[in-house]
């Protein structure tokens, strides 16, 4: 299990039929999973039912979770999303009159997208922390601040070719970290 992923630890304990861990997992994840289901189903009562069914699936299938493939919350959200979509598909077809709200789609990121974005941002920040601070600052300056190689070499008081090497090697190290 991952030390930095308490949800993964709880899922591992649930796989061993630990009821206290299941209770803790429910308290830690139910609100996020409810948000995921509500976003897809657009019905509060149905989303509540879906979350209960998701946790039943988690209890029965926790042993299938592989911490090497995904973070715990990512795995739970995938189960909730797939279950909500299955419920949506099982609904009877609606008439065109019932779809008036669909004419105005909500373009804001939903709870699932927000959770995934925060998780990815945390991973990227952790990978930046593995770099030398000067090299991390140079990469941020180049790719987030739009600074040129010349500006960065002056700012860090290094030759231009050294700056190019810093950026290339730093990006390779970030890529390795993110793929791990």
Q: Which tops the pLDDT comparison, 94 or 175?
A: 175
| pLDDT of 42 over the 70 cut | yes
Instruction: Note the pLDDT of residue 22.
Output: 96
Distance between CA atoms of residues 173 and 128, nearest Å: 9
CA distances from 113 to 24, 46, 119 (A): 24, 20, 10
Instruction: Note the pLDDT of residue 97.
Output: 55
> For 4-36, what is each residue's pLDDT tens digit?
889 999 999 999 999 999 999 999 999 999 999
Instruction: Note the pLDDT of residue 99.
Output: 56
> For 137-153, what is each residue's pLDDT tens digit?
999 888 887 888 888 99
Percent of the chain with pLDDT over 90: 61
Give the residue from 63, 57, 62 showing the smallest Cα distance to 80: 57
Q: What are the φ and ψ backbone dihedral angles of 78, each rounded to 5 degrees?
A: -65, -40
Distance between CA atoms of residues 17 and 165, nearest Å: 51
Kindly write down the DSSP assignment for every residue of 10-26, as one continuous string.
HHHHHHTT-HHHHHHHH
Distance between CA atoms of residues 74 and 66, nearest Å: 11
Percent of the chain with pLDDT over 70: 91
> For 60-101, what is each residue's pLDDT tens digit?
999 999 988 889 999 999 999 999 999 988 888 765 555 555
pLDDT band at 132 (very low <50, low <70, confident <90, very high): very high
pTM reported for the whole predicted model? 0.52
Contact 84, 50 (CB under 8 A): yes
Instruction: Note the pLDDT of residue 178.
Output: 85
Instruction: Note the pLDDT of residue 1.
Output: 47
Give the residue from 99, 84, 103 showing the smallest Cα distance to 39: 84
Which of 30-39, 106-115, 135-144 shows the highest mean pLDDT? Answer: 30-39
Angle 30-34-39 from CA coordinates, rounded to 5°: 155
């Amino acid at each position: 299990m991952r030390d930095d992923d308490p949800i993964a630890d709880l899922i591992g304990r649930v796989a061993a039929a630990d009821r206290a861990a299941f209770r803790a997992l429910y308290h830690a994840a139910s609100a996020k999973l409810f948000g995921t289901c509500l976003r897809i189903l657009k019905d509060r009562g149905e989303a509540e039912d879906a979350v209960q069914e998701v946790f039943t699936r988690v209890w029965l299938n926790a042993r299938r979770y592989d911490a090497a493939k995904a973070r715990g919350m990512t795995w739970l959200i995938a189960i909730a999303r797939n279950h909500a979509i299955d419920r949506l598909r099982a609904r009877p077809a609606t008439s065109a009159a019932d779809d008036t709200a669909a004419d105005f789609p909500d373009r804001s990121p939903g709870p699932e997208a927000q959770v995934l974005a925060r998780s990815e941002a945390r991973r990227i920040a952790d990978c930046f922390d593995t770099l030398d601070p000067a090299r991390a600052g140079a990469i941020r300056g180049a790719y987030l601040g739009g600074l040129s190689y010349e500006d960065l070499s002056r700012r860090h008081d290094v030759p231009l070719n050294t700056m190019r090497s810093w950026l290339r090697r730093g990006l390779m190290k970030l890529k390795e970290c993110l793929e791990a």
